[in-house]
């Protein structure tokens, strides 16, 4: 299959781009070859697809279900009790809704951590997005639970081999306060022997750090090193409460960090020290976290919050400049997840979006990177292409009415159970 995009604006110049199968094979000011599909992108700006580095997609079903609570009360009193009633079918429809919303706001990749992996993978496979999907591990320090979850992960990994390459399996031990050292070490052993990434929440709250010091005598990053989990296949979400020694370790082991500014602010988890992490040489990506704590998937908004929170934290408006923040949702996240995308270049995977440059927040257009970080939201996305296939054109996605109706029905049924 081939796709030709004509007359797009790339880095300020009129450009044609040719996609063969799932790769960008030619970028030039004029391409006049035949293609199976042609898009006339007159008046539209071509960008790499945005990449969501940390979320729990199926939590769309719980959007607005529990707000204005502390993280631990929210998890214990609202989220975990209702999640205990969830089924694979719920996760399937919740993830379908998540994919629909992500496509609508220009996301082509997400890193997910959730229960009922077969439900998530079925949804992502049908919706056409690229994803790193974790099998969750939470043993609550219970040996039986740990053994059962290890078996589930082995089975999910076996299943994952039958899905297309755009969907990768990832190991997702939830956090150090929900997973035993034995299970964490097993998870890393399994990840390494199968060449998989490992993703977990770390140092999201100050309480987590204090509890870790009380229980293990060291801070969370040092604890991961001590039990042999720290390695270059690891990425961590949140990472708000880190000391200098922990930053050194994360840099030494080449661990990427995914910050979640909206969720951090909504749950008052703390303020992510963007510049400090950047100066420590650590790659930063951005995630929305689950939409029960956000409450949407719009990475344009997330970029703006990332920049504004840092300027506010430092009292210095030159920190977290727009181009650095834009890299976080594109090339940095691609690098953290070893995905050959995040840039519009020949040879890269064909994941890209077209932005309508004629809408008011895109005018007059003095600086496009400024527009993307500070001015627009996801509604400016006109077309989404992932893995060489058109997922949305002129803001229309095939089957969207059914997904919305089924997700609404599923969420109502879940909370009534």
Classified as helix, coil or strand, 242 is coil
Per-residue DSSP letter, 380? G
Candidates 87-95, 289-297, 304-312, 331-339: pick the segment binding Zn ion (CB under 5 A): 289-297
Least spacing, CB of residue 326 vs Zn ion, in Å: 23
* Cα dihedral: 271, 274, 277, 279 (round 10): -140
Least spacing, CB of residue 238 vs Zn ion, in Å: 7
Least spacing, CB of residue 308 vs Zn ion, in Å: 21
Considering the complex, state which of residue 240 and residue 381 has its C-beta at the smaller distance from Zn ion: 240
Least spacing, CB of residue 136 vs Zn ion, in Å: 11
Least spacing, CB of residue 101 vs Zn ion, in Å: 17
Least spacing, CB of residue 75 vs Zn ion, in Å: 10
Candidates 168-176, 288-296, 322-330, 408-416: pick the segment binding Zn ion (CB under 5 A): 288-296
With CB under 5 A, what is the number of residues at the site for Zn ion?
1
For position 302 contacting Zn ion by CB under 5 A, the verdict is: no
Considering the complex, state which of residue 16 and residue 289 has its C-beta at the smaller distance from Zn ion: 289
Candidates 114-122, 210-218, 283-291, 370-378: pick the segment binding Zn ion (CB under 5 A): 283-291
Considering the complex, state which of residue 136 and residue 392 has its C-beta at the smaller distance from Zn ion: 136
Would you state the structure tokens that stand for residue 314, as one six-digit string?
A: 């430092």
Radius of gyration of the chain measured on its C-alpha atoms: 21
Least spacing, CB of residue 201 vs Zn ion, in Å: 5
Considering the complex, state which of residue 27 and residue 136 has its C-beta at the smaller distance from Zn ion: 136
d(Cα 261, Cα 301) in Å, to the nearest integer? Answer: 10
Considering the complex, state which of residue 110 and residue 157 has its C-beta at the smaller distance from Zn ion: 110
Considering the complex, state which of residue 129 and residue 202 has its C-beta at the smaller distance from Zn ion: 202
Considering the complex, state which of residue 134 and residue 383 has its C-beta at the smaller distance from Zn ion: 134
Residue 64: Cβ within 10 Å count: 9
Residue 380: Cβ within 10 Å count: 25
For position 289 contacting Zn ion by CB under 5 A, the verdict is: yes
The 10 Å CB-count burial string (b at 16+, else e) for 231-254 is eebbbbbbbbbbeeebbebbeebb
3-state helix, strand, coil in the chain (%, to 5): 45, 25, 35
d(Cα 340, Cα 108) in Å, to the nearest integer? Answer: 13
| Residue 23 phi, psi dihedral angles, 5° rounding | -125, 155
Considering the complex, state which of residue 43 and residue 66 has its C-beta at the smaller distance from Zn ion: 66
* Cα dihedral: 355, 131, 255, 229 (round 10): 170
Considering the complex, state which of residue 128 and residue 261 has its C-beta at the smaller distance from Zn ion: 261
From residue 340, give the alpha-carbon distance in Å to each of 23, 43, 165, 217, 386. Answer: 10, 27, 12, 40, 12
d(Cα 234, Cα 408) in Å, to the nearest integer? Answer: 35
Least spacing, CB of residue 355 vs Zn ion, in Å: 28
Candidates 8-16, 159-167, 284-292, 339-347: pick the segment binding Zn ion (CB under 5 A): 284-292
Considering the complex, state which of residue 294 and residue 332 has its C-beta at the smaller distance from Zn ion: 294
Least spacing, CB of residue 290 vs Zn ion, in Å: 6
Least spacing, CB of residue 143 vs Zn ion, in Å: 25
By DSSP bridging, strand 352-356 and strand 284-286 are: unpaired
Residue 32: Cβ within 10 Å count: 8
CB neighbour list of residue 218: distance below 8 Å, 6 or more residues apart: 212, 226
Candidates 7-15, 44-52, 104-112, 287-295: pick the segment binding Zn ion (CB under 5 A): 287-295
Site string for Zn ion, 218-247 (x = CB under 5 A): ------------------------------
Per-residue DSSP letter, 383? E
What are the residue ranges of helices labelled H in 169-298?
Answer: 181-193, 206-216, 220-226, 244-252, 261-266, 274-279
Least spacing, CB of residue 352 vs Zn ion, in Å: 27
Considering the complex, state which of residue 289 and residue 301 has its C-beta at the smaller distance from Zn ion: 289
Q: Which residue is nearest to Zn ion (CB)?
A: 289
Candidates 2-10, 159-167, 281-289, 368-376: pick the segment binding Zn ion (CB under 5 A): 281-289
Give me the residues that bind Zn ion (CB under 5 A), please: 289
């Amino acid at each position: 299959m081939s796709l030709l995009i004509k007359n797009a604006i790339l880095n300020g110049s009129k450009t044609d781009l040719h996609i063969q199968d799932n790769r960008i094979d030619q970028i030039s000011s004029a391409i006049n070859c035949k293609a199976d599909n042609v898009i006339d992108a007159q008046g539209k700006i071509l960008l790499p697809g945005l990449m969501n580095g940390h979320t729990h997609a199926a939590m769309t079903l719980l959007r607005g279900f529990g707000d204005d609570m502390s993280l631990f009360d929210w998890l214990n009193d609202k989220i975990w009790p209702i999640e205990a009633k969830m089924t694979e079918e719920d996760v399937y429809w919740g993830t379908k809704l998540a994919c629909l919303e992500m496509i609508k706001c220009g996301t082509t990749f997400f890193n997910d951590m959730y229960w009922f992996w077969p439900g998530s993978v079925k949804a992502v496979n049908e919706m056409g997005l690229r994803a790193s999907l974790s099998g969750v591990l939470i043993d609550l320090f219970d040996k039986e639970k740990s053994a059962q979850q290890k078996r589930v992960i082995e089975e999910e990994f076996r299943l994952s081999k039958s899905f297309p390459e755009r969907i990768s399996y990832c190991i997702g031990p939830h956090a150090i306060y929900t997973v035993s050292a034995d299970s964490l070490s097993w998870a890393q052993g399994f990840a390494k022997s199968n060449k998989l990434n490992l993703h977990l929440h770390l140092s999201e709250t100050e309480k987590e750090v204090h509890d870790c010091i009380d229980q293990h005598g060291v801070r969370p990053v040092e604890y991961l090193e001590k039990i042999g989990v720290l390695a270059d296949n690891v990425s961590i979400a949140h990472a708000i409460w880190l000391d200098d020694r922990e930053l050194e370790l994360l840099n030494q082991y080449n661990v990427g960090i995914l910050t979640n500014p909206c969720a951090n602010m909504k749950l008052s988890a703390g303020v992510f020290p963007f510049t400090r992490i950047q100066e420590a040489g650590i790659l930063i990506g951005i995630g929305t976290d689950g939409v029960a704590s956000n409450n949407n998937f719009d990475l344009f908004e997330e970029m703006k919050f990332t920049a504004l929170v840092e300027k506010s934290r430092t009292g210095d408006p030159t920190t977290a400049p727009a181009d650095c923040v834009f890299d976080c949702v594109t090339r940095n996240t691609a690098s953290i997840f070893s995905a050959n995308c995040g840039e519009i270049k020949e040879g890269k995977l064909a994941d890209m979006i077209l932005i309508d440059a004629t809408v008011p927040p895109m005018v007059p257009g003095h600086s496009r990177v400024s527009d993307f970080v500070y001015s627009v939201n996801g509604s400016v996305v006109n077309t989404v292409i992932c893995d060489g296939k058109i997922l949305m054109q002129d803001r229309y996605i095939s089957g969207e009415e059914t997904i919305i109706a089924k997700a609404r029905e599923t969420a109502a049924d879940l909370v009534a159970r």
